[in-house]
C-alpha cells in the first residue's frame, strides 16, 4: 500500500448504536494488534448504516465519535488509515459492478439479512438485501489480504471471497481473495439479558450490552442484572449460556486460560463473579474513556486524520476501480 511489502488489512464497523465490548473483543482488539505488521485500513461504514433508518444529525455525530473511539482503543493514525466510507465514492462504484455478479439466491441465504429484516419489518429495503455486496466492495477495492471480524461476519466474508473468485474467473485475475481473521476468544460475545443471542451495539434494550462509553455505575448495574442460569458452579458450559458468557468476557479481558479462570472461581458465588467482572470491565474501559473525552475536544485534529485517510484511500481505490472498469469493457475517459 505504501510501497512496502506488508499485507493489507481491512475492516469496518457500522456507525449505528453504541460501540460495545462485543465489537472490541471480536474485532477492534485484533485491529490494534495488526497495525505494526500490516498496512491497515479501518472504516466507519456509514453507507451501510443507512440500511436501517437513521436521524441525520445523530449519524453525523456518531461517525466522528466512532473515529475517536477507534483511536481511544489504540488505533494509531500514524500507522493506520482511518476512513469514513462515504468519503471514498469508489466503494459505491464497485458495489454496483459486484451486484451484477451476485445471485439473489446467495443473498437470500444471508442470516444477517433475515435477522435484520425480522427486526425492521416496516423497512426491508433493497440496500439491506445487497449490504453484503457493499461489504465485499469495501474489502476488494483495497485489495485486502486479511479481514479481522467477529464470528457473525463469517458468512459475509465467504461471499466476498466467492465474488472475488467469480470476477477473477470471468475477467482475468484482478482481486486478491481475502482471508478472514476471527479471534479464538471473544469472537462471539452474547447479550447480557438474552445470552442465546449475540451482543449487538444497536440493541434497543441497552441492558443487553456494555458500551465502551458506559460509566462505571452503569456497567456495574448491567452486569449485576445479567441473566445467569440455574445451578451454582462457575464453569464454562454450553448448556449454561449466561454464566459462560460472563466467564468469556472475563477470560478475554484477563488473558488467562479457561482452566485458570475456572479454578479462580471454584467455591465462589455468582455474585462474586459479577463483581470481579464489573471491576475488570470498569478498569479496562477507564483509560479508553479518558482518551476518548480528550480526542472529542479536538474536532479539527479528528478531521485532519479523516482527510489524510480519505486522500490515501481514494488513491488506492481509484487504482482498483480503473482496472475493473477496463476489464468489464467500459470506454476509458480521456482528458
Ligand atoms: P448492529 O447491532 O448495529 O448491527 P453489531 O454490534 O452487530 O451492530 P457490526 O457493525 O455489525 O456490529 O460489527 C462490527 C464488528 O464487531 C464486526 O467485526 C462484528 O463481527 C463484530 N461483532 C459484533 N458483535 C459482536 C459480538 N457480539 N461478539 C464479537 N464480535 C462482534
Ligand atoms: N458488515 C460488517 C461491517 C462491515 C465490514 C466491512 C467488516 C462493512 N464493511 C468490511 C469488514 C470489512 C458488520 O460487522 N456488520
At residue 200 the predicted structure's pLDDT band, cuts being 50, 70 and 90, is very high
Tell the residue number behind the cell numbers 448448556, with chain if given: 239
Q: Report DSSP letters for 49-71, one per residue.
A: HTTS---HHHHHHHHHHHHHHHH
116 catalytic residue (yes or no) = yes
239 class by beta-carbon count within 10 Å (0-12 exposed, 13-18 middle, 19+ buried): exposed
Nearest CA to ligand 1 atom 9: 13
Report pLDDT for 259.
96
CATH says 214-294 is which class? Answer: mainly alpha
At residue 188 the predicted structure's pLDDT band, cuts being 50, 70 and 90, is very high
Per-residue pLDDT reduced to its tens digit, 227-256: 998 888 999 999 999 999 999 999 999 999
Report pLDDT for 1.
52
Whole-model pTM over 0.95: yes
Report pLDDT for 197.
94
Is residue 83 within 8 Å of 317, Cβ to Cβ?
no
Report pLDDT for 321.
98
Residue 153 has pLDDT above 70, yes or no: yes
Q: Which ligand is nearest to the CA of 154?
A: 1
Average pLDDT over residues 283-295: 98
Residue 3 has pLDDT above 80, yes or no: no
CATH number of 8-187+298-328: 3.40.50.620
From the CB of 69, is ligand 1 less than 6 Å away?
no
154 catalytic residue (yes or no) = no
Residue 276 has pLDDT above 60, yes or no: yes
Average pLDDT over residues 281-310: 98
Domain ranges of the chain: 8-187+298-328, 214-294
At residue 85 the predicted structure's pLDDT band, cuts being 50, 70 and 90, is very high
222 catalytic residue (yes or no) = no
Question: What are the pocket residues of ligand 2 if the criterion is a CB atom closer than 6 Å to any ligand atom?
Answer: 10-14, 45, 48, 135, 138-139, 147, 149, 153, 156
Which of 31, 150, 199 best tests ligand 1's pocket when mutated (most atoms within 8 Å of CB)?
150
In angstroms, rounded to a whole number, what is the distance separating the alpha carbons of residues 48 and 135? 8
The three cell numbers of residue 334 are: 480521456
How much of the chain exceeds pLDDT 90, in percent?
Answer: 93
Packed helices 126-140 and 90-99: angle between N→C axes, nearest 10 degrees: 110
Report pLDDT for 120.
87
Amino acid at each position: 500500500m505504501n510501497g512496502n511489502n506488508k499485507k493489507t488489512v481491512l475492516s469496518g464497523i457500522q456507525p449505528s448504536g453504541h460501540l460495545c465490548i462485543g465489537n472490541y473483543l471480536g474485532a477492534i482488539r485484533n485491529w490494534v494488534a495488526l497495525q505494526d505488521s500490516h498496512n491497515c485500513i479501518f472504516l466507519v461504514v456509514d453507507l451501510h448504516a443507512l440500511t436501517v433508518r437513521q436521524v441525520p444529525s445523530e449519524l453525523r455525530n456518531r461517525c466522528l465519535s466512532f473515529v475517536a473511539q477507534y483511536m481511544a482503543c489504540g488505533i494509531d493514525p500514524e500507522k493506520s488509515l482511518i476512513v469514513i466510507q462515504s468519503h471514498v465514492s469508489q466503494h459505491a462504484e464497485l458495489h454496483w459492478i459486484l451486484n451484477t455478479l451476485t445471485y439473489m439466491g446467495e443473498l437470500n441465504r444471508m442470516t444477517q439479512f433475515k435477522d435484520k429484516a425480522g427486526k425492521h419489518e416496516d423497512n426491508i429495503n433493497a440496500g439491506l438485501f445487497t449490504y453484503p455486496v457493499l461489504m465485499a466492495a469495501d474489502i476488494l477495492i483495497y485489495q485486502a489480504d486479511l479481514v479481522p471480524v467477529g464470528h457473525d461476519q463469517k458468512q459475509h466474508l465467504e461471499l466476498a471471497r466467492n465474488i472475488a473468485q467469480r470476477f477473477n474467473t470471468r475477467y482475468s485475475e484482478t482481486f486478491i481473495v481475502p482471508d478472514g481473521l476471527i479471534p479464538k476468544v471473544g469472537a462471539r460475545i452474547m447479550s447480557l439479558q438474552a445470552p442465546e443471542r449475540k451482543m449487538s451495539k444497536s440493541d434497543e434494550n441497552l441492558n443487553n450490552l456494555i458500551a465502551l462509553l458506559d460509566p462505571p455505575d452503569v456497567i456495574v448495574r448491567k452486569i449485576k442484572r445479567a441473566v445467569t442460569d440455574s445451578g451454582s458452579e462457575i464453569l464454562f458450559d454450553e448448556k449454561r449460556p449466561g454464566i459462560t458468557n460472563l466467564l468469556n468476557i472475563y477470560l478475554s479481558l484477563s488473558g488467562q486460560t479457561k482452566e485458570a479462570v475456572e479454578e479462580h472461581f471454584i467455591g465462589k458465588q455468582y455474585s462474586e463473579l459479577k463483581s470481579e467482572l464489573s471491576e475488570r470491565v470498569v478498569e479496562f474501559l477507564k483509560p479508553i474513556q479518558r482518551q476518548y473525552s480528550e480526542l472529542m475536544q479536538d474536532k479539527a485534529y479528528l478531521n485532519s486524520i479523516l482527510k489524510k485517510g480519505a486522500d490515501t484511500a481514494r488513491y488506492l481505490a481509484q487504482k482498483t476501480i480503473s482496472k475493473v472498469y477496463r476489464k468489464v469493457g467500459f470506454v476509458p475517459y480521456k482528458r
